A = this chain, B = another copy of it.
Amino acid sequence: MIDIEKANQTAVSRMMSARPILKGVAPASEVIPGMRPNLLLHAGPPIEWARMSGPLRGAVIGALIFEGLAKNERDAEALVKKGEVDFAPCHHHATVGPMAGVTSASMMVYIIENETHGNTAYSNLNEGYGKVLRYGAYSKEVIAKLKWMNDAMGPALAKAIEASGGLDIRALLAEALHMGDEGHNRNKAGSILYTTKLAPWIAQVTSDSALKAEILKFLGENALSVLNPVMAACKAMADAAHGIEGSTLVSAMARNGTDFGLRVSGLGDQWFNAPAEVPDGLYFPSFSSKDANPDIGDSTITETAGIGAFAMAAAPAIVTFVSGTPQDALNATLEMYEITAAEHSHFTIPQLEFRGTPTGIDIRKVVELGITPRVNTGIAHKDAGAGQVGAGLVRPPMKIFEDAIRAYAKQYKL
């Protein structure tokens, strides 16, 4: 007879004891296992071109232009339709990416090593706001910014991070949660902590003063600078909790803009998928929910690891961005304690008398109580090439948890 409680405690303990260190930046092709020139990684569970939503298609087009494999949208689509581009979830390559999450071979990626258990995870560099690839935009400006990030900022970051000896992202997150971040949609404190910690190293390793200034400005003014290392850190923590025989804890939640996918620690590498929903939230001027694409991105790895919407109580100011009141933010965290296995030993919430964040989503509790996890998210325009239209809150469909419970019962002969 399987001891589910024990399996879950093992899984969640591994998740919390994982110590993710930012060790470097390098081209995806040099570090991500299985990465190759005609492979594009994307957010969420597996999906083929025909079922891809607008923002994911837009990011695919942009990545092919960025790689020099296509000159324009038409070229890119033709290439895809000829079957010359392979697609795979980021998650299948120890990688995570916000929104469309499209990562191609020559893109610079962050390297996170979990010093406790030895596994590694990756994420691309954050582009900041405005027209950006991750929201499906692929105009000349988008590609030009990606080139600057890759050719100018990326090598400087690589040298700076190496010189620093590595940054403890779990420690940084713990600090940021005491500074009003929740680590997913609000990474304001984390991003300036990140910038401040790297700044002396950037000043030291880069010879060009104008470039130094440009990089420090880019990192410092982008309140999401640290989101991608944070996501890779959460991936490293969640992966440490994956594959525990008998565990009913969620080890990945991810959306590709069409489907919301779920993986469970004790259920191997299978995905449980159902149609992703459109988030509720606040829209930028001139946009509404009619413009919104269904939920997209791997950033739900933050909630999987016990932060994001699960740590909303720490981030009352986030409601100006995702809607609701500070009391709603408090309630969001309180509700998540009902469906989780532990209170985080490193991530604490001052507002709740330093209680640990709710960590380790138990699919049994989700189904029994009828409470799905809360997720904070950005909202992409449904059309390729458009971009972000807002930010808000969403929940995964209950069906994927029910399907996972059924698969568990079958696998473990319950």
Q: Considering the chains assembled together, what is the distance between the CA atoms of A206 and B207 in angstroms?
A: 12
Contact A200 B216, beta carbon cutoff 8 Å: yes
Taken residue by residue from 123 to 164, chain A's Cβ proximity to chain B (1 for < 8 Å, 0 otherwise) reads as 000000000000000000000000000000000000000000
What residues on B are CB-neighbors of A352 within 8 Å? Answer: 326
- Is the Cβ of B180 less than 8 Å from the Cβ of A199? no
Residues of B within 8 A of A201 (CB): 213
A212 interface residue per 8 A CB criterion: yes
Interface core residue of A210, A216, A217, A327 (most chain B CB under 10 Å) = A216
Query: Which of A113-121, A188-196, A375-383 is near enough to bind chain B?
Result: A188-196
Please classify the interface of chain A as helix (H, G, I), strand (E, B), loop, or mixed, using the class held by over half of its residues. Answer: helix
Quick check: is A368 within 8 A (CB to CB) of the other chain?
A: no
Contacts of A181 in B (CB 8 A): 179
Please, which residues of chain B bring their CB within 8 A of the CB of A209?
203-204, 207
Verify B188–A199 contact, CB threshold 8 A. Answer: no
Q: State whether the Cβ of A80 lies closer than 8 Å to any Cβ in chain B.
A: no
- Distance in Å: Cβ of A316 to nearest Cβ of chain B: 4
Which residues of B sit under 8 angstroms from A192, Cβ to Cβ? 189, 192-193, 195-196
Chain B residues whose CB sits within 8 angstroms of the CB of A370 once the complex forms: none
The 10 A-B residue pairs whose C-beta atoms are closest, nearest first, are: A316-B350, A196-B220, A203-B212, A178-B317, A200-B217, A200-B213, A317-B350, A203-B213, A199-B216, A204-B213
Chain A residues in contact with chain B, CB under 8 A?
178-181, 188-189, 192-193, 195-197, 199-204, 207, 209-210, 212-214, 216-217, 220, 316-317, 319, 325-327, 350-354
